[in-house]
């Protein structure tokens, strides 16, 4: 009985420890840096891009195999119900016997095949292409995660503003309720405040739901289980550093998109060379060895039977010279030239889009800096107006409409200021992306 009790207590203790571990594992505190580093390791698209790199290595090994020696074995067993005969003048010879069997091995080695050699270069270039695609996937997920993270911070600021407004409006409601009871306020004024308070609480609920949805979206981008509980450290948008470095030029060589399009040009050039290589002759070394047995009975594999076995081998060089293929090769080469011309146009388009993104990001940053400074002063002014109107209302020098209008103006100013901060950070992300420096957010 004691043994059973001890086992039960031990099992209970283990379950409690496991439960604590799971509880702790389900709550994760995420700074922006943590979120980004987690995302580049666990995002599904990034992981698939890394798998593509592995696939590229195997494709290279597959192409390389064509340049290595090829060795194959073969075997056969046959029965001839009617055996052919060879007639030479008046002599008749039986051609073989009823049962025939053979085993052999064949060897071949490419001595010269320009298509194989070009294909090997193309497969190695493809590995680099897959690596660049993986880098692009990382940059895209960094952009998505950082944008969503800042949006959550903005909504938290909006939540604080609404919560403050609820407290202020609740205070006004209590004051007007007392005044109404004493016959010093109208019922319509009390109803207006209640309506305003209800609207604020509804906005608060909607914003809380929006934050939860954005946190789920953030976890999805990161590749984190959606049911995982996360906490984002308290941070005000006003504390974010606004230090984007504006440059007049874009470093195209540092942009992954441009590197990818250039790598595609390399692959297209190699494809053109592979088509051109179809004009070249191919030379290969071949050899084989065969061991053949014949018998009139099925005793080929018995010692002392009626079977007769003999072997043969050959070594040679095989030369293949293309002469005329109906201009098929010429058509493929011309198609490859068109593909290269299209790639040049794609390069021009990428350069223009990079310039456009860079210029737009710089414009957005400058505009938002101006907006931030203007809205910062506007918030200060709106606060002064609100507190002055609130004081006048208490002293009977301002109407309820004046007070509610001043409160709405303060809310709009605070929201505009926070939105300008968010817009600045989003523009900063776009600027880092256009300069090829978005991975600096990981550090």
Indicate the domain borders of the chain.
Answer: 32-67+113-280+322-442
Percentages of the chain per state (helix, strand, coil), in multiples of 5: 65, 15, 20
Residue 78 contacts residue 294 (beta carbons within 8 Å): no
Q: Is 437 helix (H, G, I), strand (E, B) or coil?
A: coil
Q: What are phi and psi of 2, to 5 degrees?
A: -65, -35
Beta strands in 130-251 (DSSP E): 229-231
Q: Is 185 buried (19+), middle (13-18) or exposed (0-12) by CB count in 10 A?
A: middle
- The contacts found for 325-331 with CB under 8 angstroms, 24 or more apart, are 325/278, 329/275, 329/276, 329/278, 329/279
Is pLDDT of 9 > 50? no
CA distance from start to end of the chain: 59
Span 388-392, average pLDDT: 90
Give CA–CA dist 134/61, Å, rounded. 20
**Looking at 177-191, 196-210, 307-321, 337-351, which range is the least confident one?**
177-191
How far, in whole angstroms, is CA 298 from its chain's centroid?
64
Element (H, E) at 187: helix 187-222
Radius of gyration (C-alpha) of the chain in whole angstroms: 40
pLDDT at 102: 93
Average pLDDT of the chain, as a whole number? 86
Length of the chain: 443
**Looking at 38-52, 259-273, 289-303, which range is the least confident one?**
289-303
Percentage of the chain exceeding pLDDT 70: 90
Is pLDDT of 107 > 70? yes
How far, in whole angstroms, is CA 57 from its chain's centroid?
19
pLDDT at 83: 85
Structure confidence at residue 45 as a pLDDT band (50, 70, 90): very high
pLDDT at 437: 83
Give CA–CA dist 411/164, Å, rounded. 10
Is pLDDT of 92 > 70? yes
Cβ neighbours of residue 121 closer than 8 Å, sequence gap 6 or more? 270
CATH code at 32-67+113-280+322-442 = 1.20.1600.10
Span 335-359, average pLDDT: 92
Element (H, E) at 282: strand 282-295
Whole-model pTM over 0.85? no
Give CA–CA dist 14/11, Å, rounded. 5
Is pLDDT of 16 > 60? no
Span 385-390, average pLDDT: 91
């Amino acid at each position: 009985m004691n043994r059973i009790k001890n086992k039960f207590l031990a099992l209970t203790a283990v379950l409690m420890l496991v439960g604590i571990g799971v509880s702790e594992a389900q709550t994760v505190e995420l700074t922006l840096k943590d979120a980004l580093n987690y995302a580049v390791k666990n995002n599904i698209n990034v992981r698939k891009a890394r798998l593509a790199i592995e696939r590229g290595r195997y494709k290279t090994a597959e192409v390389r195999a064509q340049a290595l020696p090829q060795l194959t074995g073969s075997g056969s067993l046959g029965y001839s119900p009617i055996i052919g005969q060879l007639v030479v003048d008046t002599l008749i010879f039986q051609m073989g016997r009823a049962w025939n069997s053979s085993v052999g091995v064949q060897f071949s080695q490419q001595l010269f095949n320009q298509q194989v050699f070009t294909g090997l270069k193309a497969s190695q270039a493809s590995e680099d292409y897959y690596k660049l695609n993986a880098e692009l996937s990382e940059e895209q997920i960094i952009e998505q995660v950082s944008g969503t993270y800042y949006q959550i911070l903005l909504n938290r600021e909006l939540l604080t503003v609404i919560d403050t407004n609820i407290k202020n409006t609740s205070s006004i409601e209590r004051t007007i309720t007392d005044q109404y009871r004493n016959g010093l306020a109208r019922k319509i004024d009390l109803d207006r405040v209640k309506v305003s308070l209800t609207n604020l609480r509804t906005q608060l609920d909607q914003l809380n739901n929006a934050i939860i949805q954005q946190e789920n979206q953030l976890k999805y981008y990161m590749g984190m289980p959606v049911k995982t509980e996360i906490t984002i450290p308290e941070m005000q948008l006003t504390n974010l550093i606004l230090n984007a470095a504006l440059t007049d030029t874009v470093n195209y060589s540092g942009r992954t998109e441009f590197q990818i399009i250039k790598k595609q040009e390399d692959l297209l050039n190699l494809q053109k060379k592979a088509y051109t290589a179809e004009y070249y002759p191919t030379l290969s070394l071949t050899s084989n060895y065969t061991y053949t047995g014949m018998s009139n009975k099925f005793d080929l594999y018995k010692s002392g039977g009626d079977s007769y076995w003999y072997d043969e081998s050959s070594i040679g060089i095989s030369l293949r010279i293309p002469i005329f293929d109906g201009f098929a090769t010429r058509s493929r080469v011309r198609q490859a030239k068109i593909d290269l011309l299209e790639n040049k146009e794609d390069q021009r388009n990428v350069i223009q889009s990079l310039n456009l993104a860079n210029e737009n990001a710089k414009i957005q940053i400058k505009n938002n800096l101006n907006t931030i400074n203007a809205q910062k002063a506007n918030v200060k002014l709106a606060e002064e107006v609100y507190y002055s109107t609130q004081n006048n209302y208490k002293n009977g020098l301002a109407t309820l409409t004046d007070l509610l209008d001043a409160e709405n103006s303060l809310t709009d100013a605070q929201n505009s200021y926070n939105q300008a901060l968010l817009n600045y950070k989003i523009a900063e992300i776009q600027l880092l992306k256009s300069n090829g420096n978005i991975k600096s957010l990981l550090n």
